Structure 1
């Protein structure tokens, strides 16, 4: 598993938050939402935090049109209409044995009459990153 956000990633996120604050009231709200997500991730237990950081980087890298925000105390990512598309639930939130990446009805993942809308996440790997990236790109297509 990774060691969490690199120093470069942390610096880039701080720069982006500052850019958003400089864009006025709407930008300040986005910056505050991003900071709330980063703060929530920072509060997680180490294993959950490492997963959440990788999930955050994967989602924001593959769907930059989604806006980070907290949703029921979880890191989540909303579309332009403000609807949650994808969220991360750490295992510690409800004392589960695994973390969860879930998709809401705004995600374009429909596949016939039944499809997965939630995925258990135990460990990060290149395969997990690839699968999540594919799901996120499909969700916003």
Structure 2
């Protein structure tokens, strides 16, 4: 890991560590899920949020927000695909969550895989 990657990772971990509980634990869990799902992604701060990109100098693909609700979002950079089914041409781009159970963890991993592929 390059020193820039290490610095960026440190900044993401610091950002998460400053969050109040129980959000801090949930966000740390989501960070771990993202890094396990796609270990080649590079954590970094993107517009003040923890984010994940293909390289330290490339745009973020996925962000985590800690606002009124916790949020996992796909940035505008990856290719979007219509959802199909009942959602037709709508393109999912953000998901809110308050906790992470087994199903949510799997779904987060699937979302992350979808933006990297």
Gaps of 5+ in 2: 84-88
For the aligned residues, what is the CA RMSD? 1.4
Deviation of 1:109 after TM superposition, in Å, equals 4.2
Query: What's the counterpart of residue 41 of structure 2?
Result: 66
Per-residue Cα deviation, 1:21-60 (whole angstroms, up to 9, x for no partner): xxxxxx1111000000000000001111111111111111
Gaps of 5+ in 1: 1-19, 21-26
Under a length normalisation based on structure 1, what TM-score does the superposition of the two structures give? 0.73
Report the CA distance shift for 1:46/1:122 in structure 2 as closer, same or farther (over 3 A): same
- How far apart, CA to CA, are the structure 2 residues paired with 1:110 and 1:32? 33
- How far apart, CA to CA, are the structure 1 residues paired with 2:116 and 2:104? 18
Which protein has greater RCO, CA pairs closer than 8 Å, 6+ apart?
Answer: 2
Query: What's the counterpart of residue 139 of structure 1?
Result: 115
Structure richer in helix, relative to its length: 1
- How far apart, CA to CA, are the structure 1 residues paired with 2:50 and 2:6? 14
Query: What's the counterpart of residue 83 of structure 1?
Result: 59
Deviation of 1:72 after TM superposition, in Å, equals 1.7
Under a length normalisation based on structure 2, what TM-score does the superposition of the two structures give? 0.87
Structure richer in strand, relative to its length: 2
Contact 1:60 1:66 in 2 (8 A): yes
Mapping 1:1-141, distance limit 5 Å = 20=1, 27-80=2-55, 82-91=58-67, 96=68, 98-111=69-82, 113-141=89-117
Contact 1:74 1:89 in 2 (8 A): yes
Equivalent residues, number: 111
- How far apart, CA to CA, are the structure 1 residues paired with 2:80 and 2:22? 28
| Structure with greater Cα Rg | 1
Deviation of 1:124 after TM superposition, in Å, equals 1.1
